[in-house]
Amino acid sequence: MSILMNASGAFCTTTEELKALNDTPETCAIVSKSCTLHSHKGNPQPHVYHDQYGGSINNSGLPNPGYKYYHQLCNTFTKPYIISVAGFTIEDNRTILQHLAKDPSPSYIEFNLSCPNIPGKAQVGYDPEALFKYLTIIRQSYPKPYGLKLPPYLDNAHIVQTANIINSFKPAFITCCNSLGNGLIIDQTTKQPALKSLGGISGIYLKPTALGNVYSFRRLLSQDTNIIACGGIKNAKDVIEYLQAGASYIQIGTQLIKEGPKCFNRINKELNISLH
């Protein structure tokens, strides 16, 4: 049984990409690009930069065709289909959720509380009052299974506080975690910032933090809430470590962007060798 899927934002904006992920035998589900109420252009390219050490930085600025594009794909795929929702305002989110609650609905929503790349917009996952408010709106507007995409937490007190709030809503899963916001990578060939601005840091730099977050949340959250791990997973060793920390499923972002959907076949083969 596969436990691998793409991370939102990696190879999942167009129907063709989502179909390719669906048709990759080693994926167990597919996740859409985070979507807003209306289509959104995002930042000028480049959106992602990979450094020589296995780290990456992204700042796409939420380019997406709008939630309706992903909603109308609900009956297209043979695998569980997860729509990532990241409306710009509470009211936008309420509208999106109310529409997605009408059949056909996706298998799950992954509610994104942690986009680090929208200037002037604080990440909801870092603000306990805002988190409670958003979870209340999800409860009111979306009576179907959902998960939460959390930011990486750097202080155990914040993890405990967040887990307590999440336990009073019992989502089906959390995805742990998004990239580490406001990072900078300087490209040593140009001596300039690799992107036009700061961005979310992922890949090898994120892994120990994400692994620690998975481990801590698994010990604090209700067993009704599964943990999908995300953060610097590039091979079977990384997958196994996240399972040992308490994850049930695995999302691949940086490595999928670098290697394409064939990474799922490679990692699955490595897992079959390691686990037998």
Helix (H, G, I), strand (E, B) or coil at 33: coil
Query: Is residue 250 classed as helix, strand or coil in its secondary structure?
Result: strand
CB nearer to ligand DHB: give 201 or 236. Answer: 201
Instruction: Give yes or no for residue 216 binding ligand DHB (CB under 6 A).
Output: no
What is the C-alpha radius of gyration for the chain, rounded to an integer number of angstroms? 17
Closest distance between ligand DHB and the C-beta of residue 115, in Å?
4
Catalytic, 115? Answer yes
Selected binder of ligand DHB within 6, 27, 36, 179 (CB under 6 A): 179
CA 224 to the chain's CA centroid:
20
CA neighbor of 230 nearest in space, from 61, 114, 134, 123: 114
Site for ligand DHB in 99-138 (CB under 6 A): 112, 114-117
Mind giving me the DSSP string for 65-122? --HHHHHTTTTT-SS-EEEEE--SSHHHHHHHHHHHTSSSPPSEEEEE-----STT--
Determine if 175 is a binding residue for ligand DHB (CB under 6 A).
Answer: no
Told to check if 60 binds ligand DHB by CB under 6 A, we report yes
Nearer to ligand DHB, 86 or 124 (CB): 86
Cβ-count burial 246-262 (b if 16+ within 10 Å, e if not): bbebbbbbbbbbbeebe
Instruction: Tell me how far, at minimum, the Cβ of 274 lies from ligand DHB, in Å.
Output: 30
Q: Which stretch binds ligand DHB (CB under 6 A): 58-66, 88-96, 100-108, 229-237?
A: 58-66
Cβ pair 48, 257 in contact under 8 A:
yes
Q: Which is nearer to ligand DHB, 126 or 268 (CB)?
A: 126
The site for ligand DHB, by CB under 6 A, has a size of 17
Asked if residues 136 and 111 have their Cβ atoms less than 8 Å apart, the reply is no
CB of residue 268 to ligand DHB, shortest distance in Å: 26
Q: How far is the CB of 188 from ligand DHB (least distance, A)?
A: 24
Q: Which residues bind ligand DHB (CB under 6 A)?
A: 9, 34, 42, 58-62, 86, 112, 114-117, 178-179, 200
Catalytic residues: 115
